[in-house]
Structure 1
Amino acid sequence: MKPYCTSLTEYSRFVTREVSIGDVKLGGNNPIRVQSMTTTDTMNTIATVEQSIRMIEAGCELVRITAPSKNEAENLANIKKELRARGYNTPLVADIHFTPNAAEIAARIVEKVRVNPGNYADKKKFELIDYTDADYNEELERIREKFTPLVNVCKEYGTALRIGTNHGSLSDRIMSRYGDTPLGMVESAMEFLRICEDNNFRNIVISMKASNTQVMVQAYRLLVATMIENNMNYPLHLGVTEAGDGEDGRIKSAVGIGTLLEDGLGDTIRVSLTEEPEFEIPVAKALVEPYNNRSETQTPIPTIATYPINPYEYTRRTTHATVNIGERNVPRVIVDAHNLSIDSHVKLFRVGYNYSVPLDKWNIADMACDYLYVGNQSIPFEIPGTLGIIQDYSVWEQKEQHYPLFSFVDYIKSEKRSSELNFVECTLPDILHETFSVLKDDSTVVVVLKSNNTHTMAELRCAIAQLLTMQSSIPVIVKYNGYGLTNEQLQLHASTTFGGLLLDGLGDGVWIESNAEHNQKFHNETMFGILQATRTRISKTEYISCPSCGRTLFDLQETTANIRSRTSHLKGVKIGIMGCIVNGPGEMADADYGYVGSGVGKISLYKGKEVIKKNIASENAVDELIQLIKDGGDWVDVPLEI
């Protein structure tokens, strides 16, 4: 396996070259920087300046501003002048799509320019072309001619450059040769990187963004592996595009960004939320905070001699089924309710089960947990048929749908076991112990894997790698220790830990351990959100919603909220909501339906990547979108509550 990080078991940042962005140093031994992007019209100097100040005061270390044309690029000088006059020296970054002339203007003004190799020198027509090698090389020379002038300007003015590949906007040329793949994303960046190096320019940052967290993580890993092979070590800008808003956006960002940070990858991050940009900064800071002293606080983890997992493509670990856990079953959600008195039907409402007294029936939500851990309690009523109850083995009642939880030592000693399903808590030392062979092939056991190491994900991964090495097909529930964490901390760090495993096909279920008495609803929704973000279990509508920027042609936050309110019951449907044509249709990636700004007050609607209706009035667009979903056969009416 090609290495993509310094170590899979010992936290250590991948050492990158230091890049100067104005007075800010990025990469090397510098802290992981946090940044965001303005949402104002770039031609509105004062609005952009004032929003930039709000971002800076929230902790933003790099401020990115869109420059879609020469006019906006030139106005960056006025924005920079006003910010400096007000005492703010934070570096500015120009965001460029399609317009090399705007990039060359901006590079003379701001400290950094971001270009997208998918559309800097190429027009996207969604055409597959069978290039000969000669044709392909001719295209590369054309790109060299268009891109080299910008490289020369950056060299002359000391301007940094980000080569920012996006999964949804790969050029037709890259798509034709490499497909819609992480390899295509990497090669897209490498083409531009080689041109920079040929011109002896190395003040470069690279990004590999996608809205699909599996693709995003694989692309960054493959990029680093490719750089290592080519003796390169450029700093990485991490981000998940179009993560969305609210809890879903935070979870999705943490899954993608956090997975890479866990392996020491990443020198700057941007959390892309469909919210005001200053709201992104606290989330970004909370994500990077654990890595400030990770190397000093982690407990040593045994090295993995031969890593049995391919980190560049998703393959779920092969397990056998124990009841409904493992094999081809979706990952299961276990909610910890041992501190909550389960004395009536209503207590299950918070985990997705709503009991109707008149009908004597349970209404089971799409996000109803699969198992409920109740500790030493006994449930005094008949439970739903789809819910399993986990009890401490010492009080296990041996009733239908009730299963015992053992420690590793207790299971070895116990003679009272379930003939169907036994949950056995294990740590890495337990799995490495010679007595684990008793469990290895026990078809009734599901391992509940836990760790108290500050480098939790790496220790859990090491444990599952050990199971793979010993060829055990025993299912694994991953348990996260959430004791003492705020809801925000738990949401981000559980997403990072679970996400880093699930994206590699490791884990047959998730369990958040907590002593909180009334947090079951939050924990349940968080775990389902993580499974959705990793694409391992779909339980609700997915929104691929870009963060607003100066190119946005409608109120993105209001529109997203409106669309969400009318479509959130469409389980498994993916809807892209893009503020302008730059972020759609390509950036919608694999959305089923798209709502894209095409002009002021005008919207175009897509099914997949095909435009179905062009330039319809924005006041009618949401209704038209719903009709399009109905025409496509994906609409269902909102279910009635019983």
Structure 2
Amino acid sequence: MVSDTNSALKGKYCNSLTQYSRFVTREVAVGDIPLGGNNPIRIQSMTTTDTMDTLGTVEQTIRMVEAGCEYVRITAPSMKEAQNLAEIKKELRFRGYNVPLVADIHFTPNAAEVAARIVEKVRINPGNYADKKRFDQLEYTPQEYSAELERIYSKFAPLVKVCKEYGTAMRIGTNHGSLSDRIMSYYGDTPRGMVESAMEFIRMCEDLSFYNLVISMKSSNPQVMVQAYRLLVETMQNEGMNYPLHLGVTEAGDGEDGRIKSAVGIGTLLEDGLGDTIRVSLTEEPEFEAPVAIALANRYSSRGTASAHFTAAGEATLPAGFSPYEYQKRESAELNTFIGGHQVPRVIVDLSKANLKDPFILSDVGYNYSAVLDKYNMGEQSIDFVYFADQLPSFSMPGNLKQLYNYETWKSLSKKYNSHPLYGLQEYLQAEVRDTALNLVCISHADLAAGALDSLEPDNSLVFVLETTEVHGMADQRQFFFKLAERGIRTPVIIKRTYGFEAEQAASDVISTFQLYAATDAGALLVDGFGDGIWLDARQIDTKTIVSTSFGILQATRSRISKTEYISCPSCGRTLFDLQETTQMIRSRTSHLKGLKIGIMGCIVNGPGEMADADYGYVGTGPGKITLYRGKEVVKKNVNTEKALDELIEIIREDGNWVEAHQEQL
């Protein structure tokens, strides 16, 4: 147990995965805006300007503050940038902006020590602060490993002493892609390695009686990120610690994909009650990041009393075989080689209110209608079920698209090929006729808690459609999965979430909020291996957005890959080319390569480490120069920018992973 007056655990994280309870951390002073404790979730972002451009950085910082940032991070890759932080801070204060500044440090302890005398907080990466990353496999005896820690301690201690003297906070920020060779060799490329990388530095800080710490466990893979943060909290608690947490998904990308991926990782942890400050990393201007972070954080501003509204009885015991620290897909029965088991999660969309006289409506759900050939061409993001309720379309369906009708309407159909009934629970129990292939039954955790499932007989055609109206709906649905596991029920489950938004909200705000909420609620379950399908519904949202959001969530959780994934950094003062323009250029020529992961990194600090999860990498290594990677291997160094994308495509082609873009028939 740490020894200062703020050391006691004010609120113990009970590892509840079914009810909302915020993990109360120690309060850390960051300038005039404290972090952790009972303070609200703080919002921050990072500048993309050259740190030596004082006025440009100041102007961008002001835009970020006005967009809602409470802390602003600025890169300091060398001594000159660290020293210029004083000029930036001076100008900001002159203009009346007292926002706490955070210096971002990689590789340069001397720059960190300078910055810590100027700004309110420094961020160091334990993977490269006094360690190295060369992708070497090293072997250590216990004595050699201990000697390495002593060497790092001697390099790190001066910074800690400066922070203590100047009242500067510190973030120990582990990145999955930049674990040191020492950690990788000892613990592997794992959440445990991420946690131990941070814990080594935390223990050094405590040995030096320094506790003004914030911790992060970032990854471009939301699944890894979630597991690492949960494991960190458990590890800290075992050692009597409760340091505040900075949440973020690294290299999330841009647009819809970046927002969904960020919400899956950050939102899942917020649902677990973890997180004291968040940064959404988008390959966009930094002032566009804050509104996304604010929308995520605001959802939890009143959640402290949410458990009072949680009507489901009791706390579920974690089912055998389930661990919050590793991924394992729930074992469900596979029905008709279509849903459950090893099948990918299925996507359902409600078209009951659409114009069912127009076959082109199916273009909204991934089917491209060809008037010439009079047939449908499936796209990679074509839905699996369409719900018509009690409406009957006046055109034929493509052969692979399954239709859902309310039970009474389905019962009256003369032809039932690829058509299946949707029941309420009591309706299913009392049904005179059932489908021989698939019967979908709407159900909630409350039904299970009330004993309604006791009347169900085993049926290899049954699929649950899991709904919730609870404030903490994700936990309600997760508890349902736990209860199924306790009873040994392997019925496939489709996760259904329905959203409503205020009429006065702008259309763009409604769409963004829908994507963030849905990615949090469904993504949190999929990250833990729950769910055989997803059904999102929001009357204010157009069908195309619902479809793209559904597939985006499945892609972000690695549950179903339907498109190319771009691991692109958000840019900073180290960036050597226009990341937004370059990302769009690469996307325009490679977006048809389903399943490939392409890393786009602005500088050698973020690549190759933080894109280590990518199949191919495009990394700025000097003005006008790009280095190309296959996985972690350098393939071509210092390629001229104007030739780099063609060279990357040629590497993909040589590996047999290139296909020509499909030319759709009109």
Normalised TM-score (structure 2):
0.95
Matched, 1:630 2:643: no
Matched, 1:190 2:190: no
Cα deviation, residue 5, structure 1: 4.6
Does the residue aligned with 1:125 lie in a helix, a strand or coil?
coil
What CA distance in whole angstroms lies between the structure 2 residues aligned with 1:34 and 1:272?
12
What CA distance in whole angstroms lies between the structure 1 residues aligned with 2:398 and 2:306?
44
Q: Deviations over 1:72-92 (max 9, x none)?
A: 000000000000000000000
Cα deviation, residue 632, structure 1: 1.6
Aligned position for 2:506: none
Cα deviation, residue 296, structure 1: 2.8
Matched, 1:181 2:195: no
Aligned position for 1:376: 390
Q: Deviations over 1:364-391 (max 9, x none)?
A: 0000001101111112222111110011
Does the residue aligned with 1:25 lie in a helix, a strand or coil?
coil
Q: Which moved more, 1:396-405 or 1:602-611?
A: 396-405
Q: Does structure 2 retain, via aligned residues, the 8 Å contact 1:551–1:579? A: yes
Amino acid at match of 1:392: N
Matched, 1:507 2:531: yes
Identify the match of residue 68 of structure 1 among 70, 77, 95. 77
Identify the match of residue 23 of structure 2 among 10, 14, 19. 14
Matched, 1:455 2:472: yes
What CA distance in whole angstroms lies between the structure 2 residues aligned with 1:434 and 1:217?
33
Seen in structure 2, the aligned counterparts of structure 1 residues 407 and 40 have a Cα distance that, compared at 3 Å, is same
Identify the match of residue 272 of structure 2 among 245, 263, 274. 263
What CA distance in whole angstroms lies between the structure 2 residues aligned with 1:5 and 1:143?
34
Q: Does structure 2 retain, via aligned residues, the 8 Å contact 1:335–1:512? A: yes
Amino acid at match of 1:408: L
What CA distance in whole angstroms lies between the structure 1 residues aligned with 2:390 and 2:357?
13
Identify the match of residue 581 of structure 1 among 574, 595, 604. 604
Aligned position for 1:303: 314
Q: Deviations over 1:387-411 (max 9, x none)?
A: 1001111101251000111011111
Cα deviation, residue 429, structure 1: 1.2
Q: Write out aligned runs for 1:329-408 (5 A).
A: 329-396=343-410, 397=413, 399-408=416-425
Amino acid at match of 2:317: T
Cα deviation, residue 625, structure 1: 1.2
Aligned position for 1:200: 209
Q: Deviations over 1:155-208 (max 9, x none)?
A: 000000000000000000000010000000000000000000000000000000
Matched, 1:498 2:511: no
What CA distance in whole angstroms lies between the structure 1 residues aligned with 2:14 and 2:29?
23
Matched, 1:597 2:614: no
Matched, 1:422 2:422: no
Aligned position for 2:145: 136
Q: Deviations over 1:46-75 (max 9, x none)?
A: 000000000000110000000000000000
Aligned position for 1:445: 462
Matched, 1:316 2:329: yes
| Superposed structure 1 runs of 4+ greater than 3 Å apart | 3-6
Amino acid at match of 1:272: S
Structure 2 unmatched ranges of 5 or more: 1-11, 503-509
What CA distance in whole angstroms lies between the structure 2 residues aligned with 1:313 and 1:137?
28
Aligned position for 2:569: 546
Identify the match of residue 560 of structure 2 among 526, 534, 537. 537
Amino acid at match of 2:318: Y
Q: Does structure 1 retain, via aligned residues, the 8 Å contact 2:463–2:492? A: yes
RMSD: 1.2
Seen in structure 2, the aligned counterparts of structure 1 residues 345 and 263 have a Cα distance that, compared at 3 Å, is same
Aligned position for 2:230: 221
Seen in structure 2, the aligned counterparts of structure 1 residues 478 and 595 have a Cα distance that, compared at 3 Å, is same
Aligned position for 1:285: 294
Aligned position for 1:409: 426
Aligned position for 1:618: 641
Q: Which moved more, 1:505-514 or 1:101-110?
A: 505-514
Seen in structure 2, the aligned counterparts of structure 1 residues 550 and 343 have a Cα distance that, compared at 3 Å, is same
Q: Does structure 2 retain, via aligned residues, the 8 Å contact 1:6–1:264? A: no
Q: Deviations over 1:203-242 (max 9, x none)?
A: 0000000001110000000000001111100000000000
Amino acid at match of 2:516: L
Q: Does structure 2 retain, via aligned residues, the 8 Å contact 1:9–1:303? A: no
What CA distance in whole angstroms lies between the structure 1 residues aligned with 2:538 and 2:523?
19
Q: Does structure 2 retain, via aligned residues, the 8 Å contact 1:439–1:445? A: no
Q: Which moved more, 1:86-95 or 1:478-487?
A: 478-487
Matched, 1:101 2:114: no
Identify the match of residue 49 of structure 2 among 29, 37, 40. 40
Q: Deviations over 1:16-64 (max 9, x none)?
A: 0000000010000000001000000000000000000000001100000
Identify the match of residue 60 of structure 2 among 51, 73, 81. 51
Identify the match of residue 164 of structure 2 among 147, 155, 158. 155
Does the residue aligned with 1:473 lie in a helix, a strand or coil?
coil
Aligned position for 2:588: 565
Q: Which moved more, 1:295-304 or 1:337-346?
A: 295-304
| Aligned residue pair count | 639
Amino acid at match of 2:479: C
Q: Which moved more, 1:432-441 or 1:214-223?
A: 432-441
Q: Does structure 1 retain, via aligned residues, the 8 Å contact 2:316–2:483? A: no
Matched, 1:170 2:179: yes
What CA distance in whole angstroms lies between the structure 1 residues aligned with 2:89 and 2:564?
41
What CA distance in whole angstroms lies between the structure 1 residues aligned with 2:456 and 2:626?
58
What CA distance in whole angstroms lies between the structure 2 residues aligned with 1:365 and 1:475?
25
What CA distance in whole angstroms lies between the structure 2 residues aligned with 1:483 and 1:95?
40
Provide the identity percentage.
62
Does the residue aligned with 1:26 lie in a helix, a strand or coil?
coil
What CA distance in whole angstroms lies between the structure 2 residues aligned with 1:174 and 1:540?
33
Cα deviation, residue 4, structure 1: 6.0
